[in-house]
Amino acid sequence: MTGERGLDGPGTSIWQGFTVRLRAVEPEDWEYFHRWGGDDVVARATDAVPFPESRAATRSWTEHEANRERSNDRFRWVMVDADDSPVGTINTHSCDRLAGTLSFGLAVAPERQGEGFASEAIRLVLRYFFDELGYQKVNAHVYAFNGASQALHENLGFVQEGRLRRMHYAAGRHWDTLVYGMTREEFAAEQAGKLPPMGAPDQP
């Protein structure tokens, strides 16, 4: 890391953290998505263990993600490290501009977990949605077997708001889903100073 703004030194990108940068998906990323998608532990934690996917199908999906029309603030980023190597992905969904609520999903490559990438990627996305798009609340659903994700959300200051019983089926049984949430004010209080600053525009 060079300079106080992070990986690339002084700069102005809101997507630049201290340890991770978020960028759009490129078609060439397909091999990373193929590898991550083929990890059944990651798949189970984010959704469900899938049928095997061909390289051709992942190539086509990645191409589509890279060229997707913007709609409803739904977006997918690739997390890259200080060497610009992809380490994971984060995506927003269920974005409601009227209510000001959003949700997100994410995964970090198994060999790169525990380096703080997920925490910082979530901070970067939430700062953008709260400070630049005017959203006011983030919601997250986490399977009851996913201790890593529960700890991640609690560490970031998410509040557990509920527990939906027997919502998910995996590994031969049903599981509860934990409902977490964080308001824009809670985020501002919890995360102050934990990202490279993006100053307010000059006052007229």
Ligand X SMILES: CC(C)(COP(=O)(O)OP(=O)(O)OC[C@H]1O[C@@H](n2cnc3c(N)ncnc32)[C@H](O)[C@@H]1OP(=O)(O)O)[C@@H](O)C(=O)NCCC(=O)NCCS
Minimum CB–partner distance for residue 199 and ligand X (Å) = 25
| Partners of residue 177 on adjacent β-strands | 143, 164
Residue 136 binding ligand X, by CB under 6 A = no
Residue 148 — φ and ψ, nearest 5°? Answer: -60, -45
Q: Is 62 helix (H, G, I), strand (E, B) or coil?
A: helix
- Report the residue number, 151 or 188, with the smaller CB distance to ligand X: 151
Neighbours of 2 (CB within 10 A): 10
Say if strands 86-96 and 101-108 run parallel, antiparallel, or are unpaired: antiparallel
Minimum CB–partner distance for residue 148 and ligand X (Å) = 3
On whether the CB atoms of residues 54 and 62 are closer than 8 A, the answer is no
The two tokens of residue 48 are: 């469900």
Residues within window 67-126 making contact with ligand X, judged by CB under 6 A: 106-108, 113-119
Residue 138 binding ligand X, by CB under 6 A = no
- Report the residue number, 42 or 95, with the smaller CB distance to ligand X: 42
Neighbours of 171 (CB within 10 A): 8
Q: Figure out which of the listed residues 9, 155, 162, 189 binds ligand X, where binding follows CB under 6 A.
A: 155
Tally of residues, the chain: 204
Residue 16 binding ligand X, by CB under 6 A = no
- Report the residue number, 20 or 25, with the smaller CB distance to ligand X: 20
CA distance 120 to 21: 9
Minimum CB–partner distance for residue 4 and ligand X (Å) = 21
Q: Figure out which of the listed residues 148, 159, 164, 189 binds ligand X, where binding follows CB under 6 A.
A: 148
The two tokens of residue 88 are: 């994971």
Residues within window 161-200 making contact with ligand X, judged by CB under 6 A: none
For tokens 């919890």, name the residue: 190
Q: Figure out which of the listed residues 58, 62, 92, 149 binds ligand X, where binding follows CB under 6 A.
A: 149
CA distance 14 to 2: 16
- Report the residue number, 56 or 192, with the smaller CB distance to ligand X: 192
Residues within window 35-64 making contact with ligand X, judged by CB under 6 A: 42, 45-46
Contact footprint for ligand X (CB under 6 A): 42, 45-46, 106-108, 113-119, 142, 146-149, 151-152, 155
